[in-house]
Amino acid sequence: MSEVNESKWSRIGGWTRDNTNLLLLIALIIAGAFLSENFFSWTNLMNLMRRVTVNGVMAIGFTMTLLVGGFDLSIGATLSMCAVLCVGIEKSSGSAAMGMAAAIGAGLAMGALNGVLMMITRGGSGEAFLITLATGMVGTAIALTYCSGLDIYGVNAGWYKAIGQGNVLSFPIAAIIWIVLLVIMQVIIKKTRFGRSMLLSGANKQSAFLVGIDVNAMKLVGFTIAGFMAAIAAIIMTARTTAASPYSGNGADFDAAIASIVGGNSLVGGKGGMVQVVIGVMIYGLITNILNLTGVDSVLQYIFKGAILLLAICLDKLNRR
């Protein structure tokens, strides 16, 4: 794309266009610093970390489905389902480990179901949207049936609570889990042969197929990771609140989608990574934070978030031209 004798200004322009998301994040951080003098205090930053963790973990999963050329709307329902299963089984069996295992199992199963259906239909993002819309409805119905529509309160094992509330050197454990997951996923998708095949299958599935990549298996893996991440997010969330509601995942898929796309992960697949996830999740967390601080009505935030997502996909489209 770049020409040999392009001027300095066009290069700056190009850099700005490629890094709009990063610039937006910096602008938001500056705005936050002006809005509140405590913004850069350790407590506030750690609060921010704590707040974005659940969405951050969800966004990792969502980004994986974007990278393989899919789109997962069901992760919100998976979050609800895993949350009620985690707390419900912890309560009935008395063992937090059992609850977590059940949650992770359910998350993997839900993700694998999406992946298998994607394999059967050989679908792209449009098919993925419809399939996960339907599996999401089934997942919500399962969550509601399991707990009869009521909130479940757990027995609160100490180490289980620590996942959501504890700190290591005043750094939240949940945030550490998020960062570890980010690093693992980044290494897998950027540094391994498997990860590269995954990105290629998302970018151009026909040519990926022709060079011998099992595109359908890549889809299965991408969606299964999304289900797994939703289960981890459910564990972190229930550990923090020590309760689970069948409605807790409502809108969580949408939040994860906004964070992933605003961060700069391309809708067409194959382009993006965990750096974009961090940027997007931070932007989203800061915007929500600023909207809350300035007292914007929660209903108005709906409209605002919708507008942001629309703007982000317009930008994505313009960049691809």
Partner 1 sequence: MTRVKKIVLDYRIPLLAAIIFTAMSLTNEYFFRPVNLSGLFESISAYGIVAVGFTFVLLCGQIDISMGSVMALTACVFMMLLPTVGFVPAMLLALLLGCVCGAITGFFVATFRLPPFIVSMTTQLAFKGVALLITNSTPVSNMHETLLAISEITLGPVPITFFLFLLVALIAHYVLTQTQYGRNLYVVGGNINVADNLGLHVRGHLWSIFIVQGFCAALGGIVMMTRMFSASGNLALDGPLNIIPMVIVGGTAFSGGKGGAINTLWGVILMNIIYNAMSMFSLQANMQEMVKGLILLIIIVADKYMENRNQKV
Instruction: Please give the residue ranges that form the binding site for partner 1 (CB under 8 A).
Output: 71, 73, 117, 120-123, 125-127, 129-131, 133-138, 140-142, 144-145, 149, 201, 205-206, 208-209, 215-216, 254, 267, 297, 299-303, 305-307, 309-310, 313-314, 317
Smallest gap from Cβ 295 to partner 1, in A, equals 15
Joined together, the tokens standing for residue 308 give 């942001």
Smallest gap from Cβ 64 to partner 1, in A, equals 18
* Residue closer to partner 1, measured from CB, 21 or 53: 21
Residue 132 makes CB contacts below 8 A (sequence gap 6+) with: 71, 72, 73, 74, 75, 114
CA 32, CA 48: separation in Å to the nearest integer? 12
* Residue closer to partner 1, measured from CB, 127 or 151: 127
Smallest gap from Cβ 60 to partner 1, in A, equals 20
CA 118, CA 95: separation in Å to the nearest integer? 35
The secondary element (H helix, E strand) that includes residue 152 is strand 152-153
Smallest gap from Cβ 171 to partner 1, in A, equals 34
Smallest gap from Cβ 42 to partner 1, in A, equals 35
CA 151, CA 9: separation in Å to the nearest integer? 57
* Residue closer to partner 1, measured from CB, 90 or 316: 316
Instruction: Give the phi and the psi of residue 152 in degrees, each rounded to 5.
Output: -115, 135
* Residue closer to partner 1, measured from CB, 1 or 299: 299
* Residue closer to partner 1, measured from CB, 13 or 126: 126
Identity (one letter) of the amino acid at 82?
C
CA 159, CA 173: separation in Å to the nearest integer? 11
* Residue closer to partner 1, measured from CB, 146 or 178: 146
Smallest gap from Cβ 192 to partner 1, in A, equals 21
* Residue closer to partner 1, measured from CB, 43 or 298: 298
- Burial tier of 186 (Cβ tally within 10 Å: 0-12, 13-18, 19+): middle
Smallest gap from Cβ 277 to partner 1, in A, equals 18
Residue 272 makes CB contacts below 8 A (sequence gap 6+) with: 63, 66, 67, 260, 263, 264, 265, 266
